[in-house]
Structure 1
Amino acid sequence: MDLPVIDLLVFIIYLAAILFFGISFYFKKGRTTDDYMVGGQKLPSWAIGMSIFATFVSSISFLALPGKAYLSNWNSFVFSLSIPFAALVAVKFFVPLYRSIQSQSAYYYLEERFGSWARNYASICYLLTQLARMGTILYLLALPTNALLGWDISSIIIFTGVFVIIYAAMGGIEAVIWTDAIQGIVLISGALACLVIILISMPDGPGQIIEVGQEFDKFSLGSFGADLTRETFWVIFIYGLFINLQNFGIDQNYVQRYMSARTEKEAKKSTWMGSLLYIPVSLLFFMIGTALFAYYYVQPGLLPENLQDITEADRIFPYFIVTELPKGITGLLIASIFAAGMSTISTSINSSSTVILTDFFKTYSKRKVSSKTEFRVLATAGVIMGVLSILVSLAMTSVKSALDAWWALSSVFSGGVLGLFLLGFFSRKIKQIEAGIAVIIGILVIAWMSMTPVFLTSDEWISFRNPLHTNLTIVIGTTVIFLTGFLLHLLSRGKNKALN
């Protein structure tokens, strides 16, 4: 599909501006590795807050949330409602903790509690999770871009990956945060423009969206029942709470932002800003999805036959962007989609290179490392992680089941680390061996819950499959690790008392 020249110009100018702006930080005089990893702890809270928000919102959110609202209702919005509770825990416990340990790595704390094995385990899990994350986002970003621009999917993946690698690897956290701030503004502007255009395009006015939405129960937040096998309100809320505790508590992406602020107070302010901003913006995406449903319901002739099927919900928003938006606005929306994807990928590249330097290179280097060497390691690590994520994404173009496999592995990694962190944070008495056994048991539970629905598909295996909703995997796995660690400690203490 050929874009009008003005839309293509808007898109190209935006990408070029982001690239040159990000690279400009590389040429900053007197730049240190501290600047590269935490911005010299002098970045303003509003920019960090926008960066946290942009990290929350990927291209998946930009396209999948309207798709979900179009297909069903606002049940998934409940995820956003859990964010303030996780943010409260973050500003009360996580931000002060990480600001006090004086390390750029989120996993230094685990080494202090349980030894080097815990730090290595968490760091490796984080890097593998980031590869899955970046590869998935690159792949899913390429699908709508292919529909919007008609470009080859593999070419889009390579182009986007190389583009982000250049400014993220060269510019460091300063480039990431400032470009995130710009991209967050572009993203919000594009989504707002889209909703306004739908509202004024309704044949009987904006109120028609509410009427159609109520008729089809589009504003429902889901069942409030206790069924743990379906996406009820409570299943999504609890899942969101644990996922966001993971984000705020153990995700290097967020921890580096805590460290980038001038003071602890500003770090807390940016955490509140970034997390709370996501709630109305995610609501905006859901409203777009419902508005699109109403728009095409009252004007079914506007949809081509291949999109009449409700299961094609994820393709509706891209189609609307290309066919219904005014010239120039289409280019802005495509730029917004790229902005959402690039902000997440650039964050992962920067945080991964920081983990590689602090948790592996500097920890195991037997000689004093110069600042020049640190810079070289950071840049090289960023490029390597970026290239690997491109390869992961390219693999997904031919092996579609890789998506489910990667997400299942991500669940295994993140659940185990979150449980270990909470175990160390809430008890100073848990021993290394007790924590290690708890993690092993927890990972086995998480692997069973996440893998069996994917690989045990025949009826004779039904009794061995996880009966709970897949969103509860991280909840159950984390809880198992936490409780197992305490139980082992109590048993050990009881045994010692008996021997005495």
Structure 2
Amino acid sequence: MGAAQETRTFVVWDYLVFAGMLLSSAAIGLYYACRRTGPQTQKDFLMGGQKMTAVPVALSLTSSFMSAITILGIPTEIYRFGAIFTMYGFSYVIMVVVTSEVFLPVFYKLGITSTYEYLELRFNRFIRLCGTFLFILQTILYIGVVIYAPALALNQATGFNLWGTIIATGVICTFYSSMGGFKAVVWIHVFQVGIKIAGFLSVIIQGTVVQGGITNILNDSYHGGRLNFWDFNPNPLQRYTFWTIIIGGSITWLTIYGINPAQVQRYNACKNRFQAKLSLYINLIGCWAILTFTTLCGLVLYSRYHDCDPWTAKKISAPDQLMPYLVMDILQDFPGLPGLFVACVYSATLSTVSASVNALAAVTISDIVRPYCPSLSEKTLYWLCKVTSWLFGAICIGMAAVASLMGALLQMVLTIFGVIGGPLLGLFSLGILVPFANSVGAFVGLTTGFAIALWVGIGAQLYPPLPERSLALSLNTDGCNLTSFHLKGNWTTTKGTFSPNAFQDHSAERTALMDNWYSLSFLYFSTVGMLVTIFVGIIVSLLTGGRKQSIDGRFLLTKEDFLSNFDYFKKENHISNQQLDMIEDGEAKTSELSQPITLSTQSV
């Protein structure tokens, strides 16, 4: 090693910036807890009284979408596999259009708090409980990764105490989501969007300066094969192609935006359907901005380390630590900026966890408590929401320990959403799009889809595809003797790292099942689960008399929903042209112009 070694760590200004972000988030939650007057209801706590407008809801959707997995995972994927990841920009368009035109009209007109209420209205209570259970399982596993992964990466880069930061993260976001309710969560997300953008820009601007300009970055990326935007190979076993991202990516994100209560709860909190749809389209712009930022960070990463990969050089123990490593490399001479990036990552964690905890509380109260305890008062339900938020916050902190056994950040999260979210998306699609689907077909389809998706998901973890199937681009260490330095922390003996080959037994003989079925691109897991659920559900429904049942049109996507949301309101609620104009202008409240449908169990 030719260069002198140096240790890089946090200074006082970094800690102050990071602590300021945490305290500001907690203060917003406390503010909304203290400013409330009059009796508080469950609807106030979980949906902000359904009085929100498009812009803050859109920023909240974007903020919860921009988790620490996004900030740490996507630049790493681009560093290793190239800029083909930018094809997700098309997936986001498909996701937003389908959500706003297929799922939103049905959920919004029913006026439901939890999407799983729909399953009882459309099928029966047992199907609703099945969906609720899978959602709770999915969300707890997801939050475990979201809390643990950035804590581990930043612990290695900055020397932060691992479990101290995990517990602090869980406690703070549980505090403000339980104290301030939905409004606090939304406005904290708005605040945290600014923190995240500042963190991204600090890395991109300084990285561009250090590397001598954007031209040098693009030149290094081009010669390193990182500007591989297009790959139309139809092979479903290849990790990233245009088709795996467009098809698999779109369906995976639909499981989040289309049916996940954490997201649906946000646009359902808007004061009318126009504002709800507008929030989704504004959010699309935010998704594109995030994709642009993360892509630039990935290219800066490659330009900086194209001749000395820190991972293969054993300077870090997992690829997901690349971004913290870069930050401590290029921003160390600017006190406060490394702290700003840490605040960026942790604000992303707080946004995602708080949104998920709030959704878990909503689902538990709406789907489990209220149906079995209908006599509970609004005040009691309000306090139960708070207690439930604290309970799930504690459980999710515990799940962070399980996350230490999981694989690469982005792949693991998308696998969780694919294996569980895919069959759930198929279940909701059956209910909304297939008039003859019945409860028997829905149950058999859901269980079959989940079993198949779980089979391929677990198999892929136990027997990962061969390296040549992933088409990871080359990394080298030829220049490491010129750029070597050490960061604070033990980079080579870390326990619980996120190596993508952690579960692979290289000595085991490969079988056809391993090289084909288990080697399916992880982006297709959700597609497999959804298609199996829909196909089996349709067949079983036809065989069990589904065509003989009579379904209320409010539970289906109707022609009026698809062509015009406002025509639907006018037809169903006899709204005058003047009132319809008020809706289009965003000035009329849903409570004044439409009556949410609340059906008892007996009427279903």
1:492–1:378 distance in 2 versus 1, CA, 3 Å: closer
- Partner of residue 216, structure 2: 208
3-state SS of paired residue (2:268): helix
Match of 1:476 among 513, 519, 528: 528
Aligned counterpart for 1:448 among listed residues 434, 442, 455: 455
The structural deviation recorded for 1:477 is 1.6
Verify: 1:390 aligned to 2:390, yes or no. Answer: no
Question: Is 1:354 the equivalent of 2:362?
Answer: yes
- Matched to 1:383, the amino acid is W
Indicate whether 1:143 and 2:195 are aligned: no
Deviates more, 1:460-469 or 1:38-47: 460-469
Does structure 1 residue 335 correspond to structure 2 residue 387? no
CA distance in 1, matches of 2:546, 2:320: 56
SS in 2 for 1:395: helix
User: Tell me, what secondary structure is at the counterpart of 1:103?
Assistant: coil
Whole-angstrom distance in 1 between the partners of 2:547 and 2:437? 15
Change (3 A) 1:376 1:330: same
> 2:88 maps to which residue?
79
SS in 2 for 1:260: coil
Q: Is the 8 A contact 2:310 2:322 kept in 1?
A: no
CA contact (8 A) 1:98 1:258 kept: no
Listed one character per residue, the Cα deviations across residues 110-135 of structure 1 (whole Å, up to 9, x for unaligned) are 11111111111111111111100111
Tell me if 1:463 matches 2:475. Answer: no
Shift of 1:194: 1.6
Decide which of 175, 182, 196 is 2:184's aligned counterpart.
Answer: 175
Please report the TM-score for the alignment, with normalisation by the length of structure 1.
0.92
Q: State the distance in 2 between where 1:351 and 1:495 align.
A: 35
CA distance in 2, matches of 1:198, 1:317: 12
CA distance in 2 between partners of 1:334 and 1:422 (Å): 39
Show CA shifts across 1:148-177 (max 9, x none).
Answer: 331221222111111111111111111111
Partner in structure 2 of residue 36 of structure 1: 45
- Kept in 1, the 8 Å contact 2:415–2:525? The answer is no
Q: Which has the higher helix share?
A: 1
Aligned-partner residue type, residue 509 of structure 2: D
Deviation track 1:313-337 (CA, whole Å, cap 9, x = no partner) reads 4323212212321222222111111
Q: CA deviation at 1:252?
A: 0.2
Which residue identity does 1:349 align to in structure 2?
A: V
Alpha-carbon separation, structure 1, partners of 2:530 and 2:295: 29
1:322 equivalent to 2:328? Answer yes
* Residue among 363, 368, 372 paired with 2:371: 363
Indicate the SS of the match to 1:155: helix
- The Cα of 1:42 is off from its aligned counterpart by 1.6
Deviates more, 1:349-358 or 1:213-222: 213-222
CA distance in 2, matches of 1:451, 1:4: 43
Query: Which residue of structure 2 aligns with residue 277 of structure 1?
Result: 286
Given residue 163 of structure 1, which amino acid in structure 2 is its aligned partner?
I
Q: Which runs of 5+ in 1 are unaligned?
A: none
Conservation of the 8 A alpha-carbon contact between 1:198 and 1:291: yes
Q: d(CA) in 1 for partners of 2:112 and 2:547?
A: 37
Seen in structure 2, the aligned counterparts of structure 1 residues 76 and 378 have a Cα distance that, compared at 3 Å, is: same
1:69 & 1:110 partners in 2: Cα distance? Answer: 39
Q: Any conservation in 2 of the 1:396–1:402 contact (CA below 8 Å)?
A: no
Report runs of 4+ in structure 1 exceeding 6 Å deviation. Answer: 303-306, 308-311, 401-407
Greater CA drift, 127-136 or 20-29: 20-29
Compared CA separation, residues 371 and 72, structure 1 to 2 (3 A): same
Equivalent position SS for 2:258 = helix
CA deviations 1:196-221 (Å, max 9, x no partner) are 11112223x32111111111121213
User: Do the aligned partners of 1:418 and 1:478 also contact (CA within 8 Å) in 2?
Assistant: yes
1:379 paired residue number = 386
Q: Which residue of 2 aligns with 1:192?
A: 201
* Structure 2 residue matching 1:82: 3-state secondary structure: helix
Distance 1:364 1:21 in 2: 34
Any conservation in 2 of the 1:70–1:292 contact (CA below 8 Å)?
A: yes
Distance 1:304 1:64 in 2: 16
- How many residues are matched? 490
The TM-score, its normalising length taken from structure 2, stands at 0.76
8 Å contact 1:154–1:394 — kept in the other structure?
A: no
Q: Is the 8 A contact 2:415 2:523 kept in 1?
A: no
Deviation per residue, 1:212-261 (Å, 9 max, x gap) = 11111212135211111012221122111101221222100111111211
- The 1-side partners of 2:408 and 2:9 are apart by 31
Q: Hey, what does 2:129 align to over in structure 1?
A: 120
**Cα pair distance change 1:102/1:198, threshold 3 Å:** same
Which protein shows a greater Rg?
2
Say which is worse superposed, 453-462 or 40-49, in terms of deviation: 453-462
Structure 2 unaligned segments of length 5 or more: list them.
1-7, 464-504, 549-604
Match of residue 234 from structure 2? 226
The answer to whether the 8 Å contact 1:199/1:291 transfers is yes
Cα separation, 1, equivalents of 2:52 and 2:110: 19
Deviations 1:42-86 (A, max 9, x none): 223111000000111110110111112222301223234201111
Take 1:76 and 1:65, find their aligned partners in 2: how far apart are those partners? 8
Over the residues paired in the alignment, what is the CA RMSD in angstroms?
A: 2.5
1:489 aligned to which of 541, 566, 570: 541
Match of 1:6 in 2: 13
Among 132, 136, 143, the alignment partner of 1:134 is 143
Worse-matched range after superposition: 314-323 or 384-393: 314-323
